[in-house]
Amino acid sequence: MPSVSDAFRSRLNDTFTGGATSKPEWIDELEDGTDAGFFGPGSATWAVHGGKQTIVAGVRALLVQALHPGALAGVADHSRYREDPFGRLAGTIRWIYTVSHGDTATARGASEWVLRLHERVRGQYVDGHGIARDYAANDPDLARWVHLAFTDAFLRAAQRWGGPIPGGADAYVREWATAGRLMRVEDAPESEAELRAQMNGYLDRGELAVTARTRDVVKFIKNPPLALMLRPGYQALFQGAVSTLDPRHRSMLGLRAPAIGPVELPVGRATGLVLDGIGGVLGNQTGTERAALVRIARLERERGAVA
């Protein structure tokens, strides 16, 4: 009979791989390649993207991205996030970890593939000033907001629940600007101060807005169609994500900072315990990181043989 941990592992893997019954082939393919990639072991990017706190970061990034009506319109109009939310999640995970751990050619190829998919994501939305505007997913301004929301979310989650970041926050923002440039983001921030200033600019210019569509998406993110055994843990992760939001973003989204009662675990600790549990079941090292280390070790052996 399968154990509870086996069932838990199965449900988690189903969620993160879009229902794949075995390890996706693209992970093993990261063992191939001709260089160490854009970052490599010891980088800020590997540190920030290497822990289970990335699950909280993903939830936070989705919440923040939903504040831009143009970015939200592309998701609502062109994705099947309601019918196949985990398939969409699996696609995002593939891009993130291919860029993080793949060789440079593979990272560029994955980004170009996403850009080609985005070419047909076009439509119209009403901006924060009530003006109807055309949008395209590859529009530099929309791409920048998505990049900012992602960078900020992963950085804040790592600072709260991750380990030390080599070079600190500035190093991560500077390194991950590479991913922004791969996605044709203009002027991607290269320091924590630039990241905050650019995010504040969207607020200051009134480009963010909350509509009925925003509230609908937030409701979906709060209660996605997860397996029953995963739902209690997810609620702790969701509250952890909410607790790290900029108070102005949190207020716009209609979310409250999680209350801490006299008997309740503080939200940060509760979130950490759930992340530790996930790490205990799935392991703390990602499959993509292991594949990258295999590739890098092979390249070092080949260089040694030539020398």
> Residue 306 pLDDT > 90, yes or no?
no
What number of residues does the chain have?
Answer: 307
Query: Average pLDDT in the 146-164 region?
Result: 96
Whether 166 contacts 50, CB under 8 Å: no
Q: What is the pLDDT of residues 108-129, one digit of tens each?
A: 999 999 999 888 888 888 888 8
Distance between CA atoms of 281 and 274, rounded to whole angstroms? 11
Task: Give the residues across from 122 on adjacent strands.
Answer: 136
Q: Above pLDDT 90, what percent of the chain?
A: 61
> Residue 75 pLDDT > 90, yes or no?
no
pLDDT of residue 36: 96
Query: Average pLDDT in the 259-268 region?
Result: 65
> Residue 94 pLDDT > 50, yes or no?
yes
Tokens matching residue 255? 């979310």
Whether 89 contacts 95, CB under 8 Å: no
> Residue 194 pLDDT > 60, yes or no?
yes
Split into its structural domains, the chain has a count of: 1
Domain boundaries, position 58: 4-306
pLDDT of residue 117: 86
> Residue 81 pLDDT > 70, yes or no?
no
> Residue 263 pLDDT > 50, yes or no?
no
Distance between CA atoms of 115 and 22, rounded to whole angstroms? 27
Q: Which helix (H) or strand (E) is 41 found in, with range? A: none
Q: Which helix (H) or strand (E) is 2 found in, with range? A: none
Q: Which pLDDT band holds residue 131 (cuts at 50, 70, 90)?
A: confident
> Residue 104 pLDDT > 90, yes or no?
yes
Query: Average pLDDT in the 241-258 region?
Result: 93
Whether 131 contacts 172, CB under 8 Å: no
Q: What is the pLDDT of residues 1-46, one digit of tens each?
A: 344 455 545 666 565 555 555 578 899 999 999 999 999 999 999 9
Instruction: Count CA atoms within 13 Å of residue 21 on its CB side.
Output: 0
What CA dihedral angle connects 149, 229, 97 and 279, to 10 degrees?
Answer: 110
Query: Average pLDDT in the 135-159 region?
Result: 92
> Residue 262 pLDDT > 50, yes or no?
no
Query: Average pLDDT in the 220-243 region?
Result: 90
Q: Which pLDDT band holds residue 191 (cuts at 50, 70, 90)?
A: very high
Q: How far is CA 108 from CA 48, 91, 161, 181, 249, in A?
A: 20, 16, 30, 10, 32
pLDDT of residue 136: 82
Phi, psi (deg, nearest 5) at residue 37? 100, 180
What CA dihedral angle connects 255, 257, 260 and 266, to 10 degrees?
Answer: 110
